[in-house]
Structure 1
Amino acid sequence: MQYTRETAVNRLLESYRAYFNISMFEGEQYPLTAICEFFEHSEKYVISRQANLWKADCEEFVYLFNMEQLTCEEFERCRDFAWEDGQRRANIGPGHMYTYVTLVFICDACQEDAKAALRKSRLYKSFRFSLHGWMDFHAALFEVTSGRIVTNRSGKCVEKVLKNVLFNKRCRV
């Protein structure tokens, strides 16, 4: 299926809507279309809730950018914004397991140096030697004109989601 940027963004948001809280943006200083937030709390207890064996809080923040052409400078600016904003949104403390900051670009074209910077990007942070969890950075790019998906090493799971949503007519996230 041939996409435009708008149809690709709408299809992604439609699939994320079932699991994520979505905040839409327009006219900001970044070409940010939406921030999707996912929160999960799991726990195991014995007999009563006061006898907690373990608990884990997991979060993911997806930053969806829509632009005509991605340059290396624009990628770095958006990456830094998403990483800092994700750190502010994260609920770090006892019981926190992980937070994923996911950056998704939908663009018509992308410069080769921006693709290289995206592939090489790696941001990771642990809290109290991972006792209070960690943060990891996922990045993905969907180039509409060629239909290619490019990710960093941590973003391979995002590539599967994008392929499932954009190229598989029956599947959703």
Structure 2
Amino acid sequence: MSGMCPDKHHMLERVIGSYEQYYDINRDTPVEPFVAEAVFQSHGEEYFLIKSAKINEMDSSEVAFFAEVSDLSEAEYAAMADKAWSETLARADVKPNHRNSDGILIIIADSIDADAKKKIKKTRRYKSYRFTFWGWSELRVIAYEHSTGKVVSNRQGDILKKLFTIKK
């Protein structure tokens, strides 16, 4: 990581801001214990020459949950991950043209307990619907430790590391 934000709240606002262009942001009534959530939904269709000859259609959605804590413990992380996963599954609209409904958990903390870091790295939440013929859901997790400027993520969350790269 190159550089650091002055405080964790500034970093949280910066990350939420990166979602504002494509996601609907909810800061007023997010699910507890989160401070904000972002929702993205997409519908795509493919045709063969004319619209009446539809080849394929698919729905895709993502829900990002944002949390800001002082010291992240393993128990607190587990509760957040469970809540984000259950909300992701509850919001999945599974039907024949469903492709994916993914959850993203973004945590900004002053410090992260060593056991919590291990648990984050080992987190794997995945569910397929009708052997993936009706799509799937997975949970991406990333946590930013403000005191060190380090990022911890699960394997699916590695793609989110670019959110925490600060350009000089």
TM-score by length of 1: 0.89
Query: How many percent identity over aligned positions?
Result: 27
Range that drifts further, 42-51 or 114-123: 42-51
- The code of the aligned residue for 1:152 comes to N
Where 2:35 maps in the other structure, the secondary structure is strand
Q: 1:22 aligns with which of 18, 25, 34?
A: 25
In structure 1, distance between residues paired with 2:99 and 2:50: 23
Q: CA deviation at 1:123?
A: 0.6
2:129 aligns with 127
Structure 1 residue 168: Cα displacement? 2.5
Question: What is the CA-CA distance between 1:140 and the residue it aligns to?
Answer: 0.3
- Give, in whole Å, the separation in 1 of the partners of 2:75 and 2:102: 23
| Residues 45, 56 of structure 2: 8 Å contact kept | yes
Of 57, 61, 64, the match for 1:62 = 64
Give the structure 2 partner of residue 73 of structure 1. 75
**C-alpha distance in 2 between matches for 1:34 and 1:27:** 5
Following superposition of structure 1 onto structure 2, how do residues 102-117 of structure 1 map, counting pairs within 5 Å? 102-117=104-119
The unaligned stretches of length 5 or more in structure 2 are: none
TM-score (norm 2): 0.92
Deviations 1:110-152 (A, max 9, x none): 1000000000000100001100000011000011111101100
Q: Which residue in 2 is equivalent to 1:100?
A: 102
The ranges of structure 1 where at least 4 consecutive aligned residues each deviate by more than 4 angstroms after the TM superposition are 25-29
State the alpha-carbon separation in 2 of the partners of residues 114 and 25 from structure 1: 28
Partner residue, 2:167: 168
Q: Secondary structure at the match of 2:51?
A: coil
Secondary structure class of the residue paired with 1:92: coil
Q: Which amino acid aligns with 2:22?
A: Y
Structure 1 residues not aligned, in runs of 5+: none
Residue aligned with 1:51, SS: strand
CA RMSD of aligned residues (A): 1.7
Is the Cα–Cα contact under 8 Å of residues 15 and 163 in structure 2 kept in the other structure?
A: no
Partner Cα distance (2:164, 2:46) in 1: 33
Q: Residues 162 and 40 from structure 1, CA distance in 2 versus in 1: closer, same or farther, beyond 3 angstroms?
A: farther
Aligned partner of 2:149 in structure 1 is 147
